[in-house]
Amino acid sequence: MAKIIFKELSSNQNVLFPSNIYERIPANHPVLIVNQVVDALNINCLLSKYKGGGTSAYHPRMLLKVLFYGYLCNIYSCRKLAKALEENIYFMWLSGNSTPDFRTINRFRGEGLKEDIKVLFTQIVLLLQQSGYVSLDVQYIDGTKIESVSNKYTFVWRGSVEKYKSKLEDKIRSLLSLVDQHIEQDKYLEKLTESPKSIDSDLLRSKVKELNTRLDKMNKIERKQVKQLQDDYLPRLEKYEGHLEKLGSRNSYSKSDEDATFMRMKEDHMKNGQLKPAYNVQIATENQFITNLGIYQRAGDTATLISLLKDFEKSYNKQSQIVVADAGYGSEQNYRFMEDNNIEAYVKYNYFHKEQKKAWKKDPFGVQNLYYNKDNDYFICPMGQQMINIGHKKSRSDLGYISTTTCYQAQNCQGCQLRCLCHKSKNNRVIEVNYKLNEYRDKARELLLSERGIYHRGKRCVEPEAVFAQIKNNSQFYRFRLRGLQMVNIEFTLAAIAHNLRKWAKKLGFYWTLSKMYRLCKKLAKLLNLNF
């Protein structure tokens, strides 16, 4: 039997020259990219926040490296980052063996990066542009909903608040009228009890204060009613007003994360259409690098496009030449903004794919297929009668944009044999036509069906969609871990930076592999006396 030989165990032996951690890091490891990129950043905005004096502080460049590499490794907890600084050789090398505790890391992430995280993100994208990975001439835009850290059963709905507030105001009026029956009349009280307008807490508070000065002249029942106004109705009214103030223009919010809005999520494990507190995350990508991002409290994508494009121009002092997006962004306001800013818009509208089908083109009752007499401004219905112009209608979006539609009505639909197929109204058929929106859609259709449009439409499916898949599935970023819109913005921007650095490292690793293969082939050719 051969002698068994084990390798020497030197864990308990003292060495004269300690080993260098850097020697154990592979040449194409992502930690090197993180180190080089952060060293190239201008962090004067962070340094200006340090006042000096007192004890020494950890350098913000080191803390940035730890955060960026932590998010790149899917480590989002500050406690786990602090633990990695003591156990992981890559973190130990990045930090220079510094060991800030989790409170220091969390304070730097929340307070130190509060105003400057987007500036750092922009600098990294500009470094990518200088390296030739992005051009900033095209944006592939899409959005997704990421769940908030708050509890899904802590909802506040606008409809419920307004309903209960209205009922409470009726009770207040009724109670004040009862008190009024036993005390002298005054104009102020009469104005309060008879006014149909809503009662606010300031008005009720002043009235309760006035009634308290008359308690000596009231009986026991009246004093009890005044006490109910003061101890029950007034706090409830203030609570409802507080809810409405927090809601703003939204229809819902969460009590444990007041900036989160309840949205319908794709990740519906109960399969019952359950609403969850979440944020709408919008990104713009190029070559699967994130070039811009935004966090929004509204569920729909339509109203986020202009804000995202303005933010892009503000960050890079230029606007991209091409914007590619799906049908969720195809509104009249968005088309007009892109036209005014000379943007080539490959943006679908809601029925772009539907109108390509034969059934849409052959539908004789569809507005798009009715004959239109442009000279006399009227349509011809399937039965041959004229649908005349009966006026214009203006509608205002929630962003304040006013669109104008023209209305046309048939003269007589009574007794028409095709009425059941044409429309379901009890009156004569009325159609609405938005000529400006149709003009924008014609331009969009021409672009989308062109050879270049087909290319961009195909590429959009593998641009932001793949990025979201990488962040949500591979990086396990299904849910935010911080509360509030500002903290959520910091958290996702760090995740976006980590995604860009990870992809950058993979591309460099691929080039390093090719370079290594080239050198090996050259050596082999030299040994075989071949020209290479």
In order, the DSSP letters of 477-493 are: --B--S-SHHHHHHHHH
Distances, alpha carbon 187 to alpha carbons 180, 191, 192, 219, in Å: 12, 6, 9, 23
- What is the pLDDT confidence band of residue 187, given thresholds at 50, 70 and 90? very low
Mean of the per-residue pLDDT values for the chain? 87
pLDDT at 467: 94
208 — pLDDT class (breaks 50, 70, 90): confident
- pLDDT tens across 356-365, in order? 898 898 888 9
| pLDDT score for 421 | 86
CB 260 within 8 A of CB 279: yes
Distances (CA, A) of 313 to 122, 132, 295: 11, 20, 17
Instruction: Please determine, for residue 324, whether its predicted confidence score (pLDDT) is greater than 50.
Output: yes
Q: Do strands 344-347 and 322-325 pair parallel, antiparallel, or not at all (unpaired)?
A: parallel
Q: Which of 467, 491, 469, 470 is nearest to 479 (CA)?
A: 491
Tell me the percentage of the chain whose pLDDT exceeds 90: 55
Position 152 confidence tier, pLDDT thresholds 50, 70, 90: confident
pLDDT bin (cut points 50, 70, 90) of residue 287 is very high
pLDDT (0 to 100) of residue 477: 92
- Does pLDDT of 339 surpass 90? yes
CA distance 198 to 177: 16
What does the pLDDT look like over 82-105, one tens digit per residue?
A: 999 999 999 999 998 899 999 999
CA distances from 521 to 168, 488, 516, 531 (A): 84, 50, 9, 11
pLDDT at 224: 84
- At residue 222, the pLDDT reads 78
More confident residue, 229 or 488: 488
- In this prediction, residue 529 has a pLDDT band, given cuts at 50, 70 and 90, of low
Long-range contacts formed by 24-29: CB under 8 A, 24+ apart: 24/89, 25/89, 25/90, 25/93, 27/512, 28/505, 28/508, 28/509, 28/512, 28/513, 29/90, 29/505
Q: What percent of the chain has pLDDT over 70?
A: 90
- Cα within 13 Å of Cα(528), Cβ side: 9
| Six-digit token string for 458 | 């195909």
Element (H, E) at 236: helix 234-247
Instruction: Give the whole-angstrom CA distance, residue 454 versus residue 446.
Output: 11
- Reference 57, options 47, 71, 68; nearest CA is 47
Residue 183 scores a pLDDT above 70: no
| Alpha carbons 324 and 309: distance in angstroms, whole number | 12
Q: SS3 for 130?
A: helix
Q: Does residue 193 surpass a pLDDT of 60?
A: no
Q: What is the mean pLDDT of residues 68-86?
A: 94
Q: How far, in Å, are 15, 175, 216, 219, 357 from residue 186 at the CA level?
A: 95, 16, 18, 19, 71
C-alpha 123/C-alpha 316 separation (Å) is 9
Which contiguous run of DSSP H or E holds residue 111? none
Q: For residue range 225-273, list pLDDT tens digits in order.
A: 888 888 888 889 999 989 999 998 899 999 999 999 999 887 766 667 7
Question: Contact 145/262 with Cβ under 8 angstroms?
Answer: no
Lowest-confidence region among 217-226, 267-276, 304-313 = 267-276
SS3 category, 289: strand
For residues 329-339, give the mean pLDDT. 93
User: What is the four-CA torsion angle of 118, 122, 123, 124, rounded to 10 degrees?
Assistant: 100
Q: Which two tokens stand for residue 492?
A: 């996702």
Q: How confident is the model at residue 532 (pLDDT cuts 50, 70, 90)?
A: very low
Q: Between 485-527 and 60-72, two packed helices, what is the crossing angle to 10 degrees?
A: 80
The pLDDT assigned to 93 comes to 92
Mean pLDDT of 406-427: 88
Is the pLDDT at 205 greater than 90? The verdict is: no
In Å, how far are 351, 360, 377 from 356, measured between CA atoms? 9, 7, 27
| pLDDT number for residue 210 | 82
* pLDDT the model gives residue 436: 92
Type of residue found at 483 = R
Q: How far apart are CA 125 and CA 114, in angstroms?
A: 19
User: What pTM value is reported for the model?
Assistant: 0.87
Strand partners, 410: 387
Whether 511 has a pLDDT exceeding 50, the answer reads no
Q: What angle do CA 451, 453, 458 make, to 5 degrees?
A: 100
Tell me the average pLDDT across 486-510.
Answer: 91
On whether the CB atoms of residues 282 and 304 are closer than 8 A, the answer is yes
Confidence label for 514 from pLDDT (cuts 50, 70 and 90): very low
Looking at residue 509, its pLDDT comes to 75
pLDDT at 144 over 50: yes
